[in-house]
Structure 1
């Protein structure tokens, strides 16, 4: 098969013929139809942690080609089943292959069944960003989830927030993670009848989209305006928000977003202090960070810090994907279907996403598909399929 393979010395990736993997016990072999790009994909190609030869990439959708041993008959999975999921790719020191290839292997309980009403292009967008948003809203910040994952403790959460008025602020509302987070906040309100006032910061050009379904923001501020923090606080009667989610977490955004919180508020972020993405001090609360890879239930090794194995985080990920399999209401993010296949990802998709921060996304290309990214997910088709 063909796969997009890391070249550590050149700090790039190239398409290469590699063996089709075999599924182990409890795994499934997927013929990959589509892949979606995330900023972490080019980040760890331009700043490699793994060794040359690793298949890169995270998000995928396709069909099951083969079931490994010990996949339970109650899973609902079978050969030819439409599924989607995510892998770690070259995003750590660990030697684990990614998804940007014609075939990929994944644990059976960390893929979800894609309905026929959803395209493979749309399905590929839901995995990593959807789970990242769910981890922040439910697993880290503690809002009740629309699926069961902790038994009585989850019931207690529902009772705690029942019929209360809650202010939830999302910075980076038009990012892929932010767009899923908004939907999940709405799902949480439906669980217990809480009134959740959803506030966000984004480009003014995206206000109409974000105020419509399925996002339903109550109010939005233009992040380019210097007084947007004051405006957010004014919308809460001066008290500040109960929860904030910084979907950018670069430079001074963490510090600025923390200024929207009330005295007992809490916030989650998408980048860690250890990775030097931000270094704001004197914050009113320590932001909650956790890598999406925790959902894989394995220890993740970076250069300088380690994310430990978390059975609880894996159980949450399994419950989230089960919810998606059973028709959980989470609309796919808008798709920008990119031309070409695996061989176009580096020269086009990675160039658009940039090698690091949002400020790195500058280029001089003029093709229509190379326009700046906003409220869209880059998706490529892989191999030949109908």
Structure 2
């Protein structure tokens, strides 16, 4: 039965490719054939933007760990074949009704969603005009594509209203993400754990101290005491395994807050607050916050208040994403984002 299902899925992809190549409205896309199935490059229709939307000709898309987890564990997606990918940058090809802030040819970046017409592992996609921004002239498509998903998680966790975030004040008048945002919001010290080889880079973004992530809880506590007498009242856990959550929890003083990007996996003290970040564009509680962010994003990038991630470009266009996701799953990527060019080199 499983073989038959996979066979039918492959036939459906083939027929779709034939139909749309005949109609002249086809595009290439990386398709997940079925639940926990294979990735294949095939054809699907080019969508049309609705009111308040733009059609983007994608030039770059960044990969995220959730993409391989959807394939491996069969989570989130229920309709197949499916297009994944949620970090995108490209050129506006068409604007929908009511869109006045973009024109054909504008260079833009945006966060996609897990919807076949709005995901980014393809050559064209739809984006909401309210949550897209123009790319400054000093940034490439590839650099811009590394920003949306990681930045959204950090931004929502720090600035959304409770219980969805810490509800900190965002200093927009001053013109990674967590370290850069913490710096802009006046935090000091900003202590992060990471591989020691990334220490200089993280300090360039605003970290005051970088501690080796392999240190035990006791060693971390001792090192932090050497650096500051200020109690640790916020831990932002960007990994959020059970082990890192427990370490973060145990570093906090009563009244502190633990922010995690995955569901809570530990027994939390009643004296510690918890914020579970859901950096999903379409969640109602995120929409107003993210519209405000995107209206200011271009200026923040021009002023270098926000700096994109470092990245490595994958070869072979959409085909290269398959190997890139395997590298992410095998924990072979450190300190960079992997970026693909859906239209090839």
Same fold (TM over 0.5): yes
CA contact (8 A) 1:240 1:260 kept: no
**Inter-partner Cα distance in structure 2 for 1:220 and 1:284:** 27
Distance 1:69 1:183, change over 3 A: same
**2:206 is aligned with 1:216:** yes
**Inter-partner Cα distance in structure 1 for 2:300 and 2:36:** 43
Deviation for aligned residue 1:208: 2.0
- Counterpart of 1:288 (choices 275, 279, 282) is 275
CA contact (8 A) 1:254 1:280 kept: no
Aligned to 1:352: 327
**2:62 is aligned with 1:36:** yes
- Counterpart of 1:181 (choices 178, 182, 186) is 178
Aligned to 2:309: 333
Which consecutive aligned stretches of 4+ in structure 1 deviate over 6 angstroms post-superposition?
Answer: none
CA contact (8 A) 2:30 2:318 kept: yes
Q: How does 1:234-273 map to 2 (within 5 A)?
A: 234-237=226-229, 240-273=231-264
Q: Secondary structure at the match of 1:89?
A: coil
Using the size of structure 2 for normalisation, the TM-score is 0.83
Distance 1:142 1:234, change over 3 A: farther
**Inter-partner Cα distance in structure 2 for 1:283 and 1:342:** 47
Aligned to 1:207: 199
CA contact (8 A) 2:249 2:268 kept: no
Let me know the Cα RMSD of the aligned residues: 2.0
**Inter-partner Cα distance in structure 2 for 1:241 and 1:58:** 33
How many residues matched? 306
Distance 1:252 1:96, change over 3 A: farther
Aligned to 1:161: none
Aligned to 2:167: 142
Distance 1:229 1:14, change over 3 A: farther
**Inter-partner Cα distance in structure 1 for 2:290 and 2:137:** 23
Aligned to 2:287: 314
Deviation for aligned residue 1:255: 1.1
- Counterpart of 2:142 (choices 121, 142, 146) is 121
Deviation for aligned residue 1:279: 3.5
1:175-214 deviation per Cα after TM superposition (whole angstroms, max 9, x unaligned): xxxx32111111112xxxxx62111111112112222x2x
**2:127 is aligned with 1:106:** yes
Aligned to 2:13: none
Distance 1:144 1:55, change over 3 A: same
Aligned to 2:80: 52
Aligned to 1:192: none
**Inter-partner Cα distance in structure 2 for 1:292 and 1:377:** 18
Q: Which runs of 5+ in 2 are unaligned?
A: 1-26
Q: Secondary structure at the match of 1:379?
A: strand
Distance 1:138 1:16, change over 3 A: same
- More helix per residue: 2
Deviation for aligned residue 1:284: 4.3
Using the size of structure 1 for normalisation, the TM-score is 0.75
1:252-291 deviation per Cα after TM superposition (whole angstroms, max 9, x unaligned): 1111111221222212111013xxxx24444742420131
CA contact (8 A) 1:255 1:283 kept: no
Deviation for aligned residue 1:96: 6.3
Distance 1:231 1:99, change over 3 A: same
Aligned to 1:89: 114
**Inter-partner Cα distance in structure 2 for 1:31 and 1:104:** 7
**Inter-partner Cα distance in structure 1 for 2:70 and 2:238:** 19
**Inter-partner Cα distance in structure 2 for 1:7 and 1:279:** 35
- Counterpart of 1:12 (choices 38, 54, 59) is 38
Distance 1:12 1:283, change over 3 A: farther
Q: Secondary structure at the match of 1:374?
A: coil
Q: Which runs of 5+ in 1 are unaligned?
A: 149-178, 190-194, 298-308, 355-360, 363-371
CA contact (8 A) 2:123 2:343 kept: yes
**Inter-partner Cα distance in structure 2 for 1:283 and 1:245:** 18
Distance 1:233 1:143, change over 3 A: farther
